[in-house]
Amino acid sequence: MLYSVSDVVSALETIAPPAYQESYDNARLLTGNPANQVTGIICSLDVTEAVVQEAIEMGCNLIVAHHPIIFKGLKSLTGKDYIERTVIKAIKNDIAIYAIHTNLDHVQHGVNKKICDMLGLVHPKILAPKPNLLMKLTTFVPIESTESILRALDQAGAGRIGNYSSCSFQVAGTGTFKPSEEANPTIGRKEELTRVAETRIEVLFPAHLKNTILKALKEAHPYEEVAYYLQNLENENQEVGSGMVGELEHPMEEAAFLHHLKKAMNLRVVKHTALQNKPIQKIAVCGGAGIFLLSAAKRAQADIFITADVKYHEYFDADNQLIIADIGHYESEIYTKELLLEFLSQKFSNIALYLTKIVTNPITYI
């Protein structure tokens, strides 16, 4: 079976919908023709000229990367900096670049779950769930169509809450309507008031699935005109948001934990604030620059917050309430390429998949 770039993009967008990215982000297909047939994929944290060269040499025409090489608008493409040179090289060699960035940070099985897994944490959950990503559909259906419509809504992605699927609320009642002369009613006659035993169905769904859900509803519903309400919900979506918090099965002494962290994540350096002389059990993590989550980590009563890109004054904010540990941006996210490869290998068993061998970390240590 042959796959196009857009087949791979759609599969990636089912695990990390673009709607979940931050407003400043640019997670998307950045270069390449979506209709091109994929010859092989390289998974990488960053895209540099060296990674594009590697793709050429490996016969791969798709690079799936975490960081978008095109982040701000490009007003010219002359090769004056590494960004433009990388983009030009990709385009000249017909190589597609797909970036899966903060949307992958924000999903339950994304960047932060990978860190939790590497540290052996149990009960991982999103540290700062995002509000305003859920909607509610209320609709009215003839009683005999209740099950088939619920099934259609379920298949379209409605009614999932945490570990539960097919979640709905139903109540029986009476619907009334009078079809006009122009109508083509499924039940009742033109110009006659009709009363029908109906079910009122309420289901939640992720807002980005709105069009899919409405299409499924209209296709499954027997009426010519389907009555429904949509509501935006302020509820947080517990499965989408920044950072993650999990626990060690057995508490560890602080120094022992820091050594465990170093070994598990293959780190040369961990920069951290003062030890608190109490065991570590609850651990907050955020791959990349995550210090904006410090108060969320404190609220979650984490013993340590592991992230990167912490500035001098921000370390003071630990304020003897927890340990802040900076493990480096690259180091915190480098295993994201493995996460991408694992996902792609489940979906596309016959596409050649590789992890980049290029070390793209711009920081070195002496």
Reported as type and span, the H/E element at residue 26 is none
Binding flag, residue 68, Zn ion (CB under 5 A): no
Token digits of residue 320? 């003897």
Q: How far is the CB of 288 from Zn ion (least distance, A)?
A: 3
- Which of residues 238 and 360 has its CB atom nearest to Zn ion in the complex? 360
Q: How far is the CB of 74 from Zn ion (least distance, A)?
A: 20
Reported as type and span, the H/E element at residue 32 is none
Q: What angle do CA 20, 26, 32 make, to 5 degrees?
A: 115
The residue whose Cβ lies closest to Zn ion is: 288
- Which of residues 106 and 282 has its CB atom nearest to Zn ion in the complex? 106
Q: Residue 253 and residue 279: Cα distance in Å, rounded? A: 5
- Fill in the per-residue mask, 245 to 284: x = in contact with Zn ion (CB under 5 A), - = not in contact: ----------------------------------------
Residue 46 C-beta-side C-alpha neighbours within 13 Å: 15
Q: How far is the CB of 332 from Zn ion (least distance, A)?
A: 8
Number of residues that bind Zn ion (CB under 5 A): 2
Reported as type and span, the H/E element at residue 240 is strand 236-252
302: three-class secondary structure by DSSP: coil
User: Helices 49-58 and 82-92: crossing angle, nearest 10°?
Assistant: 20
- Which of residues 42 and 220 has its CB atom nearest to Zn ion in the complex? 42
* 186 close to 223: Cβ distance less than 8 angstroms: yes
Binding flag, residue 288, Zn ion (CB under 5 A): yes
- Give residues 121-140 in contact with Zn ion (rule: CB under 5 A): none
Q: How far is the CB of 273 from Zn ion (least distance, A)?
A: 22
- Fill in the per-residue mask, 306 to 335: x = in contact with Zn ion (CB under 5 A), - = not in contact: ---------------------------x--
| Burial 144-179, CB ≥16 within 10 A → b, else e | ebbeebbebbbebbbbbeeeeeeebeeeeeebebeb
- Which of residues 105 and 247 has its CB atom nearest to Zn ion in the complex? 105
- Which of residues 300 and 308 has its CB atom nearest to Zn ion in the complex? 308
Q: How far is the CB of 361 from Zn ion (least distance, A)?
A: 11
- Which of residues 303 and 333 has its CB atom nearest to Zn ion in the complex? 333
- Which of residues 45 and 296 has its CB atom nearest to Zn ion in the complex? 45
146: three-class secondary structure by DSSP: helix
CA-to-CA separations, 170 to 15, 161, 230, 253, 315, in angstroms, rounded: 30, 16, 16, 51, 51
Q: How far is the CB of 111 from Zn ion (least distance, A)?
A: 8
Q: How far is the CB of 337 from Zn ion (least distance, A)?
A: 12
Q: How far is the CB of 359 from Zn ion (least distance, A)?
A: 15
- Which of residues 13 and 333 has its CB atom nearest to Zn ion in the complex? 333
Token digits of residue 198? 């109906």
Q: For binding to Zn ion (CB under 5 A), which residues are involved? A: 288, 333
